[in-house]
Structure 1
Amino acid sequence: MIRHIARLVLACPKFWAIGSVITTLVMAVCMTQISFDIQPSATITSDNQTSRDLARFHDEYGRDDNDVVLLIEGDDLLQWNQLQQLRKLRDQLQELPGVQYVASILDVRRRTGSMIPLIPRDVADDGAGFDAETLLSELIKHPISKDQLISDDGKMLAMWARIEGDSLAVSGITQVIEPTKRFARQYETDTGATVHIAGHTAIRDDVLNSLQRAMFISCTAAAIVAFFVALALFRGLVAVVVVVTAPAVGAIWTFGLMAACGEQVGGLLTALPNLVFTIGLTDSVHLLLEMQNELRAGRTSRNAAYRGLVRVGPACWLTSVTTVIGFGSLMLSRTPSVAAFGMWTAVGTSFAMLANIVVLPTLVMWLPKRWLITNATATHRMSDWIERMVAPMVRRSRLTAAIGVGLCVLLLGPALSQEPDIVWTETIPDHSSSAVAMRHADDKLGGALLCYVTVRWPESYQMPDSQIIKATARAQSILRAAPQFSGTFSIGNVLASVPGRTMRDRFRMIDRMPEAIQSGLMNESARSLVVTARVPNDGAAALNKRIQGVDVELEALRQEFPDFEFTITGTVVAASRNMNLVIMDLARSLAVAAVLIFIVFTIAFRSIKTGLLSVVPNVLPLLVTAAGLSFCGYPLLITAALTFSLCLGLAVDDTLHLLIRYRAVRRYDRDARSAAMKAVRQVGPALVVTTIILFSGFAAMMTSPLPGVRLFAGLSALTLVTALIGDLLIFPAMLVVGSSSSESKD
């Protein structure tokens, strides 16, 4: 089949060239419209009960991830002049378009019949008669502000602003965050206090800004470093341009189509450019080196392009098929973000293959031969060096193969012991404003992330029935007693803050509260109310363990109140549970992909033995990367799961090129050792060149300020080296062992 494709491409080079240029230009224009404005719920949503509980909660109470939390630190925050500036800040936030309400100590009212504000608006300009110490004493005892809006020492205040909207994209958040930062800076100037902006919205705003900036800087640095390394290896500027053009075009086509389809770039899809370019570059290097060899042999440009496609094309085609099948299997995931990642990676791999088959041969045909033919001395020296490295392994093939299998078995335990985890701030720099704010919130207030227990009652009850109040109080006591849950809040706090002889009298007083605040506590039409608690930003694994403990207590509460429904939910709860599912989904899907790749190998080469032999070099990089995480004390982060995807694509590519060349050599050389060494000598330079180029690029990315990018780059570099070792040192020995005993005796 590849012969027909090669003839088709080379028969009409102008047609393919014009088509490629037009397509690239159109897709490049489309790329300018690509958006990083991802919906926050897109990554954490899954087809499970957790997501359905969260959706029901949002229907009844609105989004809980649209809060902007201002943490204000200072020594004299309750002095009159400071309170006046606080009121100015509150009013500025309240007037912002899109802000539903702002809650602060200014909203706390006295527990008397008049319910006048605890902090009066009308006081002498110099604050005469105002007592800050008395105010602090009242605030830290008040059911509304205690553990909610002020620290016990009065040196930190919390102001919560809720943004209107359903599942706001980052652009909607930025419209509030940016002026909030300006107002906060002005408040700091006027008072000398410090303002930290925390919460989901601040993190997402930092993620967007950091992601766009870091992706541009890191990718540019990686491209520059990789370019000069490639220049040193290829000894020719034109050759470098040719080898990177095809994978770059494939990446442009992929992102252009994503933009045209309205796909938002965020979460898993941020790794797609590197993934598509990397997969495309490996095949591009193999093709160009083969075509250069044909040109040096005196063949015409057209003939060299044709022979290069025929000799290397089958391996490139089979690599793309296996990679597409592997990543395509992710589309079966119940998590939309994982399914989208699998689909677009499969599309990108296909485009990279198409660009390599169309763009690279066309360039080779049109460019002068002297521009492409570089000095072969470096390649020959590299082949000699590789041969010296591999020869001892092939001579001791059984021992080498046993070491490879043993390493896989040895690393299997640490690799499988990895537990998934995420931290909300893991993708932004440690020194970023939101990361610093989240740490302050954890230290001073016990956290700025909210989780909820919804209490739902049957139709036979109506507020304020004593059973509803009792069930709510019991749910609140469970959260209050749970470790690392702080600042519990419910309608019970409000009822305790208003006057009235009876519960019904106090319940009527709640009507005096703003509707926006009431709606966050209770929904009588849905017969439900919520208990809120804050949790620290210490990771999904830790939170899930605490949630399991709360669930046990809630199950006992369900037995006590059989007609009631108690559910722990919230964005942070759903994200913790579902992001773990995302990571495990990626890991399971990659395991399925590995099995599918084994099946493809077996069918393509009509040999189960060949399929089995290919397992070790493909699995070893995965196991080394996972075990390396374990040894370094890292949990199984989503960044690591993405690295596994890259790892699988690279390992399969190198293995296939070596295997197909080995089988081609075996047609005229029946000695397994000799055939393995010849295959390594022919294919090895391309493997080494690809690895060095990509390694240098990922090494440059390790300078990124984003922890996630640094981890991804470091793991990818480790994967590249391990894949090279597996394919150059272990796989040839396994091929020899897999041959007949007469040809593979040690």
Structure 2
Amino acid sequence: MPDAVPRQQVTAEQSNEDSPPPRRPPANVDPIQVDTGSVIVVADSDDFFTPEGAEAIRDAVAAIEALPQVDSLLWMDRAPMMNIFGLAEPILPRKNASKNRFDAAKKRALEHPLVVGQLLSPDAKTMLLMVNIDWMYIHDDADCTDALRDAANAAVADHPNVKIQFRVTGNVPVRLSRAASNRSNEIKYQIIGYSIALTVAFILFRGLSAVLIVGLAPAMGVFWTLGIFHFLGWNDNPFNTVIVPVLLCMVGFTDGVHMMVHIRKHRAAGLSATDAARISIREVGLACWLTSFTTAIGFGSLVLAHHEIVREFGYCCVIGVLTTFIAVITVIPLACASPLGRRVHAGYGTNLVDKNLERITGIIDFVLERYRLISWVAIVSTLVLAVTTLMLRPDERLTSNLAASSEPAQALAHIDKQFGGMETANVSVGFPDVAEGSGEIVTVIAKVEAVLRSEPLIGHPLSIHSLLRALPGDGDAETRMS
């Protein structure tokens, strides 16, 4: 099942854009919104509609509400009753009720449009507790995640014959889990990238001082770039904290290798450290600038994207590539002129680069002799890839940046399976030329609702038609509307 598939809510609008705003509900009417909640506590059990199970879930709700950081909680038992008198009546019977009453309550809950598919799964085995947080009482991330689950588990522990599993998800837990995953990925992938760069540098140059100097330049570039990100407030983007450092490490490493090869060559020829650095910058500085500039242009095209995260990633790549170029042309020459680079040319001519550098000329000659063919192949390949790119469709999911084993991700997957998704969407239908209270409104809404129900990726649509149909009384929904 795809995650975060929206549950639809169909509303009817009888006014056009110039009409006055909708009226507020009367003073004696309490509006209800089933998709609210900063945190969703997912409860799974086969015993909800049993005497002890009903008592256990009530105790769990009371324990969660007793926490100071909980502002409000909406669950199945507080859904408005669909009776003709509008009398308040809990859906779950009391503990001393008979089995027949619990069976009738289960049937009534599965027919309630504000309960089934919204707060209770169609198999009556999964219940959602919508929790709103009072942020004045939040002192730690666990206060709005682990504390809720632990309070519910402690309350249910007093009912040993009832088995209820609680998991926490929702907007707040997903954000916290995503931030933790980003921090973990940031450290992991940077270690991988730096290890690869140092290993390749050691294979190429063999000398410890050359390896350290080549690795120092991209490390300084990444350090400066991350400082700029924090200064500009761009450190919450997962692309910036995970992908950009590794990308800059590779870009800076390739430029650093070119610079180091020429410095070692001139030092081996007898030039001083200062003269070798000056001549090397003159020889390959422009080439390194052109590669960095073209790389910055390529990533800079992302600033034209509509997605804010992608656009911000483009800006960060441009800043990072240019900053890393500055690090390469300053740090490597300075380090080579320092005591660390005193023997940077030791072993020149015996390493992998020096032995095979001349062999690259064969590849260059091959390309130059067939420049027309190579150019046409590049042009055609670019066009094919451009067409392929235009055919791609975005597929962003709430769980894209979450660890699959994390509690919010697993709870989201369970909500997808049982409810059709956590997120909601609204379909607004306007009736500018229809009289207020006309049965035609419900007829059209019913057709829209039927279309939405036929879509397998949509959960349980909720509309005025489903509410009128659930109310007791004679006649169809169209007749009651009029």
Equivalent residue number for residue 86 of structure 1: 57
Equivalent residue number for residue 363 of structure 1: 335
Equivalent residue number for residue 432 of structure 1: 406
Equivalent residue number for residue 348 of structure 1: 320
Equivalent residue number for residue 457 of structure 2: 484
CA–CA separation in structure 2 for the residues paired with 1:65 and 1:172: 22
- Structure richer in helix, relative to its length: 1
Q: Is the 8 A contact 1:279 1:349 kept in 2?
A: yes
Structure 1 residues 345, 489: CA separation in 2 closer, same or farther (over 3 Å shift)? same
CA–CA separation in structure 2 for the residues paired with 1:494 and 1:417: 41
- Compute the displacement of 1:215 (Å): 1.6
CA–CA separation in structure 2 for the residues paired with 1:333 and 1:420: 12
Q: Is the 8 A contact 2:177 2:402 kept in 1?
A: yes
Matches within 5 A, 1:121-132: 123-124=95-96, 131-132=101-102
Equivalent residue number for residue 283 of structure 2: 311
Equivalent residue number for residue 188 of structure 2: 217
Structure 1 residues 459, 362: CA separation in 2 closer, same or farther (over 3 Å shift)? farther
CA deviation map 1:294-335 (0-9, x unaligned): 111111011111111111111122233333344444434444
CA–CA separation in structure 2 for the residues paired with 1:292 and 1:143: 77
Structure 1 residues 129, 407: CA separation in 2 closer, same or farther (over 3 Å shift)? closer
**Given the alignment of the two structures, is residue 148 of structure 1 paired with residue 118 of structure 2, yes or no?**
yes
Q: Is the 8 A contact 1:115 1:498 kept in 2?
A: no
How many residues align? The count is 440
* 1:228 equivalent among 199, 204, 219: 199
CA deviation map 1:277-303 (0-9, x unaligned): 332222122112211111111110111
CA–CA separation in structure 1 for the residues paired with 2:289 and 2:365: 32
Matches within 5 A, 1:188-203: 191-203=162-174
CA–CA separation in structure 1 for the residues paired with 2:128 and 2:36: 17
**Given the alignment of the two structures, is residue 295 of structure 1 paired with residue 267 of structure 2, yes or no?**
yes
Equivalent residue number for residue 374 of structure 2: 401
Q: Is the 8 A contact 1:65 1:200 kept in 2?
A: no
Task: Give structure 1 stretches of 5+ with no counterpart.
Answer: 1-52, 508-746
Equivalent residue number for residue 208 of structure 1: 179
- Compute the displacement of 1:449 (Å): 2.6
The DSSP-based 3-state class of the residue aligned with 1:487 is coil
Q: Is the 8 A contact 1:295 1:369 kept in 2?
A: no
Matches within 5 A, 1:373-392: 373-375=345-347, 376-378=349-351, 379-383=353-357, 386=360, 390=363
Structure 1 residues 391, 415: CA separation in 2 closer, same or farther (over 3 Å shift)? same
The DSSP-based 3-state class of the residue aligned with 1:149 is coil
CA deviation map 1:618-640 (0-9, x unaligned): xxxxxxxxxxxxxxxxxxxxxxx
CA–CA separation in structure 1 for the residues paired with 2:308 and 2:417: 35
Query: Greater relative contact order: 1 or 2 (C-alpha under 8 angstroms, separation 6 or more)?
Result: 2
Farther-moved stretch of structure 1 (77-86 vs 89-98): 89-98
CA–CA separation in structure 2 for the residues paired with 1:403 and 1:226: 34
**Given the alignment of the two structures, is residue 72 of structure 1 paired with residue 43 of structure 2, yes or no?**
yes
Matches within 5 A, 1:569-718: none
CA–CA separation in structure 2 for the residues paired with 1:262 and 1:62: 34
Equivalent residue number for residue 241 of structure 1: 212
Structure 1 residues 365, 343: CA separation in 2 closer, same or farther (over 3 Å shift)? same
Percent identity (aligned) = 25
Q: Is the 8 A contact 2:63 2:155 kept in 1?
A: no
Equivalent residue number for residue 447 of structure 1: 421
The DSSP-based 3-state class of the residue aligned with 1:486 is coil
Structure 1 residues 321, 414: CA separation in 2 closer, same or farther (over 3 Å shift)? closer
Q: Is the 8 A contact 1:71 1:159 kept in 2?
A: yes
CA–CA separation in structure 2 for the residues paired with 1:188 and 1:209: 29
Q: Is the 8 A contact 1:200 1:449 kept in 2?
A: no
Equivalent residue number for residue 653 of structure 1: none
Q: Is the 8 A contact 1:188 1:194 kept in 2?
A: no
The DSSP-based 3-state class of the residue aligned with 2:461 is strand
CA–CA separation in structure 2 for the residues paired with 1:318 and 1:130: 80
Letter in 2 for 1:245: L
Equivalent residue number for residue 133 of structure 1: 103
Query: Alpha carbon RMSD of aligned pairs, Å?
Result: 4.1
Letter in 1 for 2:44: E
CA–CA separation in structure 2 for the residues paired with 1:68 and 1:200: 6
Q: TM-score normalised to the size of structure 1? A: 0.51
CA–CA separation in structure 2 for the residues paired with 1:396 and 1:184: 75
Q: Is the 8 A contact 1:66 1:164 kept in 2?
A: no
Letter in 2 for 1:485: I
Structure 1 residues 185, 215: CA separation in 2 closer, same or farther (over 3 Å shift)? farther
Letter in 2 for 1:482: E
CA–CA separation in structure 2 for the residues paired with 1:255 and 1:329: 21
Matches within 5 A, 1:182-193: 182-183=150-151, 185-186=153-154, 191-193=162-164
